Amino acid sequence: MITAKSVKELREMTGAGMMDCKKALVETEGNIEKAVEFLREKGLAAAAKKAGRVAAEGIVKTFVSADKKTAAMVEVNCETDFVAANEEFVTFATKVAELAANTSATTVEELVAEKMDGEATVTEALTALIAKLGENMTVRRFVKFNIENGAIASYIHGGGRIGVMVEVACNVESDVLEEVAREVCMQVAAANPLFLSKEQVDNEALEKEKEIYRVQALNEGKPENIVEKMVMGRIQKYYKEVCLLDQAWVKDGDKSIAKFLEEKSKEVGSPITITRYARFERGEGIEKVEEDFAAEVAKTMGM
């Protein structure tokens, strides 16, 4: 009989997850000592002890199907750039990206529960890797695109520091679609637009910008009757900074992305539109702990 008390006791002893502890006790018929060995053999106890450490390094990986109709992008994190460059870690992230493109999972929780290579789940494979490489690791996020009439392209910058996927729609099948999607990928990587178009700009963000520009104009001593005109002029400039379609193309500053699409649409004889894009930057939003190496050494030496 496996009790909640025994599961709790094993969890406190090993730091392993609740479900892992329960499984270990079932496998060992409730024997606590054997359950601890079971968890250690599986690498689960070791992995759990590392789980509290900040994993802000890592890699962004993409997978695009041969027909350019399905794609996925994942961010897998670890603690150091040394492990991020490890071949096994990179291979793991590559496999997760391909799995993400070919699964019906819509959340990270669902994705890591999927079988990998037909045997272990993503979680189990990750746990084994944590035990082997000695660092905390996480599958942080993923996104999946799928389109019938169009194409998807991806771009990885800086060895996995930044990843981008772009989906374009068109009623005509052409190699030009992948070319366009790839060019826009590089634009997104470089210029980091916040929105696709003016219509998608968040109302709250827009009003905030207007208020900032209004105060700036008043502080400059501009008369009230022209402040509003100045605000609208600056908002147009804001659109060119944050909206992908309004941004100047990084390869030709005299041309906007919208103009670039217009030219390519004429080339294929049908409108090409950007339906969506995604940009992951490794570790963005994760608060890194700045370690004082000298203090750590002093502590170890008992100074």
- What domains can you pick out in the chain, each with its CATH number? 4-49 (1.10.8.10), 54-146 (3.30.479.20), 202-239 (1.10.286)
Within 8 A by CB and 6+ apart from 60, the residues are 73, 74, 75, 156, 160, 161, 162, 163, 280, 281, 282
Q: What pLDDT does 17 receive?
A: 72
Tell me how far CA of residue 138 lies from CA of 14, 45, 52, 74, 130, in angstroms: 19, 16, 11, 11, 9
Within 8 A by CB and 6+ apart from 254, the residues are 248
Q: Which residues of the chain have pLDDT under 70?
A: 12, 14-15, 40-41, 43-54, 287-303
Kindly report the pTM of this predicted structure.
0.75
Q: What pLDDT does 222 receive?
A: 85
Determine the Cα–Cα distance for residues 92 and 58; give it in Å rounded to an integer: 11
Q: What pLDDT does 123 receive?
A: 94
Tell me how far CA of residue 288 lies from CA of 72, 281, 285, in angstroms: 27, 14, 9
Q: What pLDDT does 301 receive?
A: 42
